[in-house]
Amino acid sequence: MKAGASKVKLYAAVVLSIGAVMVVAWTLIPHGSHDETQSVAPRDAAVSALAPSDSLDPRLHLELLASAEGVKYEGSGKNIFRSSEEDRIERVKVPPLLGGIGGKGAPGAAPVAVQPPGPPPINMKYFGLASGKGENPKAFLSQGDNVWIAKEGDVVNRHYKIVRISPREVEIEDLLNSHRESVPLAQS
C-alpha cells in the first residue's frame, strides 16, 4: 500500500468530519430570522396567557390560574351520553296488565300475585364417589367439559359448595344465590 493513498484518506476523513460538525451545529443552533413562535398568532388572550413560557420557572403563577378559572363552558346542548338513535326511537306506551299489580286492573278481575323468579338450577352432574379407609368421601362432579373431585366443604368452580356427600346424592349449595339442591347420582 502506498503512503500517499493513506494521506488522501486522512484528509478526506478530516474534511467530512468538519462538514458533519457544521451540519449538526446548523440544525441545533436557533436562527434569529426564522423563529416559529413569532409566526403563530394566538387565538385568544386567555390562550396566550396560558401558553407555556420558555423559562423553567417552578413557581406557581396565580394570575394564569385565575384566568383559566374564569373561562365558562358553553356547550352546544348535545347530550354526549345518548346516541342520536335513542332520540329518534318513539316511546311505546304499554297497556296495563289485566290483573294489575296489587289488584289494580280491570274491574272484576282477580288480583295476580307477582312472584320473583327462583334461583337458577344447579347444572352439575354427580357421576361417582371415591372413599378409602379412614378418608373422607370424594365426589366426582362435572359441568360441561369440566370435571372436579371434591370433598365435603370444598368450593367447586368458585360458585358451588359441597355440603354433604352420600352414595346416592350430593347436596350442593349455590353460594351466589344461597340456594341448596340435591344432585342425584347419574346413571350411565
| Spatial separation of the C-alpha atoms in residues 169 and 182, rounded to whole Å | 6
Contacts of 119 (CB under 8 A, 6+ apart): 174, 177, 178, 179
Tell me the whole-structure pTM to 2 decimals: 0.40
Return the number of other C-beta atoms located less than 10 Å from residue 137's C-beta: 15
Residues 176/116, Cβ–Cβ less than 8 Å = no
Residue 39: the pLDDT is: 46
Average per-residue pLDDT in the chain? 79
Return the number of other C-beta atoms located less than 10 Å from residue 19's C-beta: 10
Contacts of 171 (CB under 8 A, 6+ apart): 162, 163, 164, 165, 180, 181, 182, 183
The residue ranges of every structural domain in the chain are 125-184
> Could you tell me where the beta strands, DSSP code E, fall in the chain?
125-130, 138-143, 146-151, 155-156, 160-165, 169-174, 179-184
The highest-level CATH class for domain 125-184 is mainly beta
pLDDT in tens, 90-125: 666 777 765 555 555 555 556 667 888 888 888 899
Alpha helices in the chain (DSSP H): 3-28, 36-39, 45-50, 62-69, 84-88
Burial classification of residue 188, based on how many CB atoms lie within 10 Å of its CB (0-12 exposed, 13-18 middle, 19 or more buried): exposed
Query: Residue 149 is which amino acid?
Result: I
Contacts of 95 (CB under 8 A, 6+ apart): none
Residues 101/158, Cβ–Cβ less than 8 Å = no
pLDDT in tens, 134-164: 889 999 999 989 999 999 999 999 989 999 9
pLDDT in tens, 13-27: 999 999 999 999 998
